[in-house]
Amino acid sequence: MPDLLKGRVARGAPAFLAAALLAGCAEPPEPIDRATAEAVLADNMASADGVEQALERVAKLCVETLGFTVHPPAAEYEEAADIRDLLGEWVYSEPDPSLPPAEIYGIRVDDPAITLMYEGANGEGVHTEPDPFTELPQADQDAYFDAYYGSPGMEAETVLLPDVGESERAGGGCMREAEDALADGAYPDYLNHAGLAGARGGTDWATDERVAEALHAWADCMDARGHDYGEPIHLRSALFSRAGDLKAAWQIEGTMTLAEAEAALAEEVVATAEDDAACHAESRLEEVQVEVFWEYLVAFVSAHEEAFYSFHKRAQDMQVRAQEILAAGRL
């Protein structure tokens, strides 16, 4: 089940079919029109991101009151231009080879997200993207995560939600306290609401036979062109790994300059994107994915219309509560 968020922590996704959406209804609901669904879904997803950022700020305040002053790098939340950016390559997967190479798949050699480690002069692990937190002794890092998330390994608690199946929440620590504070002790209910509003997870659209057939056609086309990928996300993962190899050649091995590494990646990206775009056109993969995604999404949110339209206010109220806590300086 693909997660529909870019660079975010995956949430448990509901697994239900169209028949389940109508359970308890005497008649199918009137479907929400596509344009409205797109606009409200985009707002709900952005609102859910706002809650995530608010939770992180409040949890950070909490650990600071416990004496921790050095934090891991904050999670990045990209500002999406439109619903295509929010849903990302899981739905809108066709590349545009006419873009600059670094923009085709959003992969570049000097991406800070590609963090490598090598052995230093004294045998210690050295990060290519050092930050104050990773320079701390491991015991101090473990203590931080224990305070922040309830355990050094940041283990989550699985919760079973009444309408959307399994999801996860913090296992303990300051993040758990932040969740309870912002949701007035009803954080699982918030997660359930977010699921019903389409803001987290999604329907089982990706298992639809039409999508499977289009993916198979795309993979066959790519195979004929010398690429062994089952779906577009595998292609993107392979290019990201290749960027890591080139970053190692540049930053660790010193066998390439950054310009040489970027040129090598650009050549591979452009050649791959041209084949990828041709196979998308031949298989109609993106058209099928978009059609099926919105077919399922509209049916789902139409069956949960009240939750779909009311989620924005709930998320906004939680963010206001976060601002009050931050202003007070304590959780």
95-115 confidence digits (pLDDT tens): 999 999 999 999 999 998 888
| pTM for this model (two decimals) | 0.82
- The pairing of beta strand 165-170 with beta strand 125-127: unpaired
State the SS3 of 94-117: CCCCCCCHHHHCCCCCCCCCCCCE
Instruction: Report the range of poorest mean pLDDT among 1-10, 113-122, 316-325.
Output: 1-10
State which amino acid sits at residue 203: T
**Averaged pLDDT, 310-321:** 98
Q: Alpha-carbon distance 147 to 62, whole Å?
A: 9
What percentage of the chain reaches a pLDDT higher than 90? 76
Instruction: Report the range of poorest mean pLDDT among 23-27, 256-260, 278-282.
Output: 23-27
Per-residue pLDDT reduced to its tens digit, 55-91:
999 999 999 999 999 999 887 777 777 888 889 999 9
pLDDT bin (cut points 50, 70, 90) of residue 5 is very low
**Averaged pLDDT, 20-38:** 67
The three-point CA angle 146-150-155 to 5° equals: 105
Q: Alpha-carbon distance 111 to 132, whole Å?
A: 18
Q: What's residue 38's pLDDT? A: 95
Q: What's residue 126's pLDDT? A: 63
* Residue with the two structure tokens 């963090």: 115
Q: Alpha-carbon distance 140 to 133, whole Å?
A: 9
Q: What's residue 82's pLDDT? A: 84
| pLDDT top residue among 23 and 67 | 67
> Pick from 25, 48, 29, 31: which is nearest to 201 by CA?
48
Average confidence score pLDDT of the chain: 88
Instruction: Report the range of poorest mean pLDDT among 70-84, 110-124, 199-213.
Output: 110-124
Contact 282, 216 (CB under 8 A): no
pLDDT bin (cut points 50, 70, 90) of residue 28 is low
**Averaged pLDDT, 209-232:** 98
Instruction: Quote the distance between the C-alpha of residue 196 and its chain's center.
Output: 18
Please, which residues bridge with residue 62 across strands? none
What percentage of the chain reaches a pLDDT higher than 70? 87
Contact 87, 4 (CB under 8 A): yes
